[in-house]
Structure 1
Amino acid sequence: MKKNWNDKVYGHVRVSVAGRLTEQFINRCVREEITIWNIQRIDKTTITCCILLKDIKKIKPVLKATDCRIHFIERAGLPFLYKKLMSRSGIISGFILFFLALFFLSNIVWRIDINGADPKLEAEIKAILNKMDVHVGAFEFFLPSTEKIESELSSRLNKVTWLGVSKDGTTYHIDLVQKELPKKDKAPGPRHLVATKKAIIHKIFAEKGQPLVEQDQFVKPGQILISGLIGKESAPAPIAAKGKVIGETWYQSETTIPLQSNVKTYTGKTYTKRQLQLFGWNCPLWGLKKKPFKHYDREVTKKPVHFLFWDLPIAYKRIIYREDDENERKLTESQAIQEAKQASYKKLKSQLPLKSKVVSQNIDKRIIKNGKMKLYMHYIVYENIAKPEAIDPVKVKEQIEKHKKEKKDGG
């Protein structure tokens, strides 16, 4: 008979059968549907063959009927292998514990490298990481993603211009560039302070230089406000003018606000699923609801499993569902005006120089069309309108020569 394909799974034995009626033994096995194969004759009274382990009990009546004896030569298959392994349970347990220890050690944080930080900043970074449970010895499955770590550090560190977080095996790398202390400005060369825009002068603070404008005077862009030439006109001394000129300036804005819109808000309810991903197939560990909420946002965190230097086709997944609710928002005309004014004011402040002051805001007009309100605003602002402009030494020389010529002609 042909060899059975599942003999390795169920196990089989190779036996020798001795007796006067070995041919009848083979025929009875066929009739009793006992699977035998690899039949070989040794001599007139002895044959060898292979028999499935599960058929051993069936063969006893056949042996008795044919007056044959059986002798086991070889045992093979999973049942015998399992029995053999169980007889060496101590060694097997040691191997299992060894591989479990390697697996565990391959998925914890062994080192955190911080590059580009001074000792004080490095200590601050480590304190923030500890609050996020990111430290040497932490189990990687329960740590936030590198993107979240990077975002948290960037938002809390004011002395950093750039920061990047990466992970290489069991090591986290944090690379950063610290803000450099501002260098002391070099002594500026001779200069005027000129107007940056149209304005009406409100106040003048001249630390160095000669003011050329007065309060309530209208000025244009480029007009000299504080001159860097002092002394006699015949021999002016160029210096670096210094000071502030606060001018009254004007701005207009246009803001559009919808009177009706859909707003999504979170209810605060969350549901967490935990899964083990094996070769792309998700095996649920915790949380079996398919859709815990009718409306939700989903956040997926995936942590691959490592073994020494290799990434295994196994990953731990955590899925957080956050319930949200969409509501229709309708604004009255007064509410829309208030919201438009706030948005317009915020946009204006982001464009103004530091220490500028909005002293007046008025609505020029408002238009309601197609479910939207368009608001036109007018602002009066007090801001520093002075900027430095280098003094041209050629022009100074020409001015002196002109004065000398006029004096000579007049004399």
Structure 2
Amino acid sequence: MFFKLLNFLCGYVTITLPEECLEKFVNIATTRRIYLWEITNSIDNQVALKVRLRDVPPLRHIARMTRCRFHIIKRSGVPFFINQLLHRKALLGGALFFIIVLYALSSFIWFIDIQGNKSISDDKIIAVVRQVGVHRGVPKWSVDTAELEKTIIQQLSGLAWVGVTVDGTRLEIEVVEKVLPPDNGAQIVDLVAKKDGLIKEILVLSGHPLVKEGDTVTAGQVLISAAIPPPEDEENDKKIPDVVEEDELQQQVQFVHARGIVRARIWYDGYEEVKLREQEKHPTGQQITKLCMKIGSKEIILMGPRQVPYTNYIEYAEVKRLPSWRNIVIPVEVITIKYTEQRICYHEFNRTEALRLAGEQALEKLRSQMPEHVKILHTDLREVKTANEEDIVRVRLTVETLEEIGVEKPHQ
């Protein structure tokens, strides 16, 4: 493959010469290190062969020595192709013009792709893009992707993130829409805390907030109330009498479906202990099977030993009973018991390894109490020491997380 490619780049010709001159011609060419290949018979006692373009002048000298003439019947390779282009100036000029036009056209934006939008239509996004002067046919160097991202996310409030990239002649706009809590209709509900915690972030979409950032809340406490009180007006407050009817207050309060996002810092405490010397069981590969039949309370061994020959073993039993017939239960059972021998091993830890292992086990237990994909902010692992030195390492782990704690509850 490499040889054919090299010959094509350097150029080669196909020549014919008389058959009677072939042997002497090839011998002399070989001694002068001229490579000939694909020697085949041609018509009229002529032999065709191929030779590189650079070796044609030396072959003319060899032809004079052997008193035979050769004729070039075919020219192949890059040098001949370039020579043809040079003689066809119109074709060469057209090719160069096509390349220049193609390069010029690739410097403009011809396609605009929008991905990720569901509720916001493509037309709205394209309308915002056109406001900053970006459209089909605009030069790529005039597109400021950062400014375009900022403009789109400012003009369309329903988007949480926008990414703009230029790929060739294509402008790709990828958007992520805001995901709001589901609206359960006109039901009047409060947003309450499902866990104790410290409020870190609060975003009110509808309703009246009763807590703020930095407040400590308990489970069941109302975070966002469905009752929105009337706006405070100092001038009107002076005119309101001291005694106001309850019905009038109810008319001034607006009730909505409370919605929002409330994130709080939650703390979990866990305890775990690990022995410095633990016993482990490993199978040795030895196993025996006992087959017995049980009729009523009597057991008959059909196969296998009466006494298990292993000191430490694990027992697996499989019981098969005869099917009942017309509510008559036949008290016959066939029991297959497999005994697998176990080897007792002891694994010893130093206090550092035991402390690490206990911390991992405690964290694994606490993760079962946390929501999935929760964000862990901080972990604090402390060793619990006792007055007497023991071969047990005890630890207490405190994990701080950031969680969404708001749940809906009917308004009281």
TM-score relative to the length of structure 1 = 0.42
TM-score relative to the length of structure 2 = 0.42
